[in-house]
Each structure stands twice: as structure tokens, then as C-alpha cells.
Structure 1
């Protein structure tokens, strides 16, 4: 069971969530968290922080004044919520040829407006679309770039970070354009990036550090945690195609 699945099951047990049991940390979960926090007189943030998770562990059926019964201890993931949402799509691939992956196309429809009418085929670069989808899903109050399909436009997103941490949005230059993805870690010469349209799929790949253009963080997201994540190059392919 993922943290999101546990969270949704506990919010449902407390009568705060009536949405789908799909493991998606979207608007319905955020509103359920706010409802639960208000009922428990916790700061109403819509974020599953330590105090909220501790309160959710209690059995809602226990009478006031009776001995509380708790669920097992559940650690809050080190990765921010949008990165956990990104991992749900690991392995998803575009369809070569005239057909398109319906999941990728649904992201454009969800973002709506000109994006929905412009994005008509998954052969169009979709790294920015992927990041736009996970941010819009998990941080619905966050302002997206005016053109989220433009990878380098994400260099203006949110707020600037001096150095990457888990989940930071990073942009990179490449011949003829750019790329955007999420920081997983780094080795001596490469950043390890979780992103879309990496060899036509959602994957983790290594991108040369000298290509990095910007490091950003959502203004409405949880605070950055930790620092540099040191990894080895073993088992992670270097990027060969981001378009």
C-alpha cells in the first residue's frame, strides 16, 4: 500500500473522503484533509503533515475518553507529493505512429484551454505537459507557466532554488529546445531526472550537469527538504532522446 492509498483509506474511515480509491493525491484528497484538519482543530493546510497523519492513525470509532486505538506507524515520504504522483506513471510510453496514448492525451484535456486544442498527438514533445499535469493535480492552487508545454518556460515557475533537492523542477537545454523533469539525485557528472518524454516514456535518466538551466520549486508546495542526493551511475541510462 502506498502512502496515498493509506491516506485515502484513513480519510474515508473518518468520513471525510467520498471520492475514488485510485491513489491519486488530487483535489478531493486535499479538500478531505482540510475537512479532517478543521474537525480535529489542526491547522487547516490540506497537507498531510506529521500532526495530521498522527491524528488519522486513531480509530474514529473509539468513544471520547476511551483508550485510543492506533493504526501502525506510517512514515511520511521524503519525496514531495508531486514527485510521488510522477512515480505513478513510471514506464508509461507514447504510441509510435498515428495513434496516441490516451493517458498522455488526457493530461492536455485536463489542463484545458489552448493546450487541449493544440495538443493533438503524443508525437508532440510532452515533458512539459507531464510536469504540468502532476503539479496541477497535486497543487491545484499553484500558478503554472503561461506555456507549460514549453520546457524552458518552467525556468520561470514558482521560486528559484540555489541547489537541487528531491522533487525540484529542473530545466535543461538541448539542441533545438529544452527539457524539464524532477531531481532524483546526482552522480559526479550527471543529474538523475524523473521526467516524461525521456526516450518516449516516463522514466529516470541521467542528464549532463552542464546542460542545466534552472532549478525551481512550487510556491504553494511543502518546504524543500534535505539537500544533494548522491547516487552512482550504475543502472541508470544516460539520456539519448528528450523530444
Structure 2
């Protein structure tokens, strides 16, 4: 799969500035700006400027058929294992990196804050919903994705006692979505989320929707029952 690092390295080689950290593999606003400048310089007709699809990959000299890992998924994966107590300082810094945050993740439910931060940092032009910290509000985000045909990077909103839970879809099987999210066992982790609990799937509007849904895959993890 094409990754942010591969895209960044090509942009740097072509003379585009990515900020002081250069090609660090981290999706962010400087990378998005550089992609947009490259697309404009190349005269590419892009529906969602700043997103990388077949036209942009070809212009960069990357494989046209190679799948792209959505940048918000790459960013979320980099935070895997962060715990709300043990890693409180670093987790709070990340949740504030988009300019605002709900509060201390050790005291407040932060699944919505985590999803919002990943989306806001990776897709700075994406319209955000009102109160993204309330998980079920994500059912109003972006565009709808069929629950039967999830794509990598879909945002799922599930019901639970006392509220809801929001996560990223990184795989699925017959009965469960493989959910990458925050506030799962008090950390950033991947769990199995029963499909019956999920009210809907959404996807950003400023990033090209993958042409093919995810195929079933095996994943050995616990089934999530309550993310409080």
C-alpha cells in the first residue's frame, strides 16, 4: 500500500516543502498543502484536492493500482497502545494537536476526541460535525457507507449503555467490525465490535472513497461489550 512516507519522499524529491520535519511519515496539514500545490502545478483535475488517488499517484511516479492507506488511519496506528493513565501526558498532547480537546482522557470519555483529532489533523479541509465528542453525532459526519460494504477508514458509531462509541474500521468478519479507536480498555487499541451494535458507517467527503470494500479477514481479539 502507498503510505504517507512514500508520498512525502516523492514530494521532497520534487522540491516541495513539508515543514521543518520533512518526510517523517506523519500525515498532517503541511503534507496536505504540499499535495495540493503539486496537484495544481501538474494541472490535475482532482475532485478532493489534497487527497491522493490514482491520478496523483501516477503523477508522483507511484503505482496507480496500489491501494492507499487513509492518512487518518496511519495517524491512528501511530498512537496504538497509548494509555489514558500511563501515557496521559503524550495522549493529552496528541488530542490537543488539532487546536482543542475535550479534556483529561483519564477523567472523560475520549473516543470522539481521538477520532476528531485524527480526522482534523490528517484532513484539515474536512467539515467537522458539531460536538464531535458525543459519539453518536458522528452519524451526521461526511458521507454514508453501507454497513454491508465497509471500506478501510470508515468511521463507525455504535450504541452502548449511557451513550455511544466511535471508531475507525480497519477490517471485518461476518459478525464484527475490527475497530481501531480510543478509550478501548482505556487505550488506543483494536477490538472486535459486534455489527449489531453499530448504527452506521461514515466516510470523509474530502478524501476519495475506496473503489472496493474490505474483504473478510481473520482477527484474534476480544469482542468489545462496553467502552466506558
The alignment's TM-score, normalised by the length of structure 1, stands at 0.81
Alignment of 1:142-161 (within 5 A): 142-161=126-145
Structure 1's 187 and 222: CA in aligned 2 closer, same or farther, altered over 3 A? Answer: same
Post-superposition offset of 1:162? 2.5
Q: In the alignment, is residue 10 of structure 1 matched against residue 10 of structure 2?
A: yes
Structure 1's 18 and 173: CA in aligned 2 closer, same or farther, altered over 3 A? Answer: closer
- Unmatched tracts of structure 1, length 5 or more: 58-71
SS of residue matched to 1:110: coil
SS of residue matched to 1:120: coil
Post-superposition offset of 1:55? 2.9
Of the three residues 72, 76, 90, the one matched with 1:103 is 90
Structure 1's 75 and 41: CA in aligned 2 closer, same or farther, altered over 3 A? Answer: same
Structure 1's 78 and 122: CA in aligned 2 closer, same or farther, altered over 3 A? Answer: same
Instruction: Show structure 1 runs of 4+ deviating over 4 A.
Output: 72-75
RMSD: 2.4
- Unmatched tracts of structure 2, length 5 or more: none
Larger radius of gyration: 1
Post-superposition offset of 1:121? 4.3
Post-superposition offset of 1:241? 4.5
Post-superposition offset of 1:231? 2.1
Q: CA–CA distance in 1 between the matches of 2:67 and 2:121?
A: 18
2:95 and 2:114 in contact (8 A); partners too: no
Count of aligned positions? 222
The alignment's TM-score, normalised by the length of structure 2, stands at 0.85
